[in-house]
Chain A
């Protein structure tokens, strides 16, 4: 267990040491502030009303596109990027089992997902308070619930990306494949509506179900179970491939 903790720490240090991670985190914190300014001007200019709090609006935007993209980039770098650069050996030649190495890499990615969500949340709540303090404060409990729910969906994205990243030995290739699969999963329901039920990526907006009592407890539990099962399946499949890989 100690080794998993140590390597998770190392993986987080490596993630934060990369310029693209710093830029992603900075963008994630900056966009809600810029959005608050732009929306304030639109409201004043043409009387456009959002109809919901800024933190929830930002979560809709980030959970659909930006967070999956940033997580794909991080997963591709953490696995395939390290295979390509051969730096994966620096991890595997330490006193650490492959299972622990895989677990710690996924844990680091989950910590990154939580950091991104926290950055969006904190920045958009702060911007929301400056824009419309009453609505933002009133919506805080639901906002918190929505962000926690979004983390579960992002965990499914992380586990799927960690699995897909095992197929290729190039960071760019893995990122491209992840993005392609994500876009395909998002577009497929337009021609085959049933696909939405079976795709993990279709649940990136499931946090909306937690807002305003939009869904019954049964439906929430069903979606939660599906996401959890998806995480378990993709994690196990990714671990299996990682365990058998030659470097």
Chain B
């Protein structure tokens, strides 16, 4: 569904990502995991063409992104970098703006999306009065509104309280199981993502240090967090590789 090959982007400050490659298959809940500054958002921006890559290719639904990016984006819902909203529009007006891009989307779908994210009671309020968590939930509703095949979420739990985080997790799993929706989710909360992701790429310093099924990454009784730390130590040259730790275990 999504193939990323050798994606490289260097910013003027020297930061960025280098030679990032991974595959996301249909139905995956794919975690793009790493600490702040590891390049997760940059990778998502390159996939969604918010910025141009220096090198590398992205294939979406089996087609090169350059071919018909706008057509491919019909089947993609996104939150990238932050849940930004127009503060002079209401939550409902936001969703109406998005809905216009998808002819044939029933009006009831807007109400359904508002219900999913528990924003129905606040739908007619201007978003300037929304809390950070409410803005994130509205952004989630806009991403899920067109019933996309692929949903890209950048740190979706930011600003959500415990209840909201649990609900988000349940919503992702439910959509994945019931509709076969594919998710690419970036997060620095590796422990949190381990609960829902079936595959993951671990990012550190702008490169993918490991990619694979979560079951493989955590083999040998390690948590994903432990596996990640072991990979970092190995990447820094200060410790054994996670796979060797697993073999030893």
Contact = CB atoms under 8 A, between A and B. Distances in A.
Interface string A1-14: 01100110110011
Contacts of A85: 84
Contacts, number: 70
Contact of A14 (B89, B103, B142): B89
A18 B85 CA distance: 14
Contact of A97 (B70, B74, B100): B70
A247 B51 CA distance: 6
Interface string A83-115: 001110110111111001000000000000000
B80 A89 contact: yes
Interface in A65-92: 85-87, 89-90, 92
> Closest 6 A-B residue pairs measured CB to CB?
A246-B51, A95-B74, A95-B73, A247-B50, A86-B84, A6-B100
A96 B101 contact: yes
Contact of A17 (B80, B81, B89): B89
Contacts of B102: 95
Nearest to A94: B101
Interface of B: 45, 48-52, 69-71, 73-74, 76, 78, 80-82, 84-86, 88-89, 93, 97-98, 100-103, 142
Contacts of A247: 45, 50-51
Contacts of A7: 101
Given A2-B103, A86-B81, A95 B71 contact: yes
B185 to A, nearest CB: 16
Contacts of A17: 86, 88-89, 93
Contact of B97 (A13, A19, A246): A13
A94 B98 contact: yes
A6 B105 CA distance: 14
B9 to A, nearest CB: 9
Given A17-B89, A94-B73, A97-B69, A10 B100 contact: yes
A246 B50 contact: yes
Most buried by B among A3, A96, A246: A246
Given A90-B86, A96-B101, A246-B50, 14 more contacts: A2-B103, A3-B70, A3-B101, A9-B100, A10-B97, A85-B84, A89-B80, A89-B84, A90-B85, A90-B97, A94-B73, A95-B71, A95-B101, A246-B52
Most buried by A among B45, B71, B73, B101: B101
Contacts of B98: 94
Nearest to A92: B50
A86 B50 CA distance: 11
Nearest to A246: B51
8 contacts: A14-B89, A17-B86, A17-B88, A18-B88, A19-B88, A90-B84, A90-B85, A95-B101
A95 B70 contact: yes
Nearest to B139: A90
B78 A93 contact: yes
Contacts of B89: 13-14, 17
A87 B82 CA distance: 10
B155 to A, nearest CB: 14
B144 to A, nearest CB: 13
Contacts of B84: 85-87, 89-90
A244 B86 CA distance: 24
Most buried by A among B73, B86, B88: B86
A94 B142 CA distance: 10
Most buried by B among A6, A86, A87, A89: A89
Contacts of B71: 95
Nearest to B72: A95
A93 B69 contact: no
Interface in A1-59: 2-3, 6-7, 9-10, 13-14, 17-19
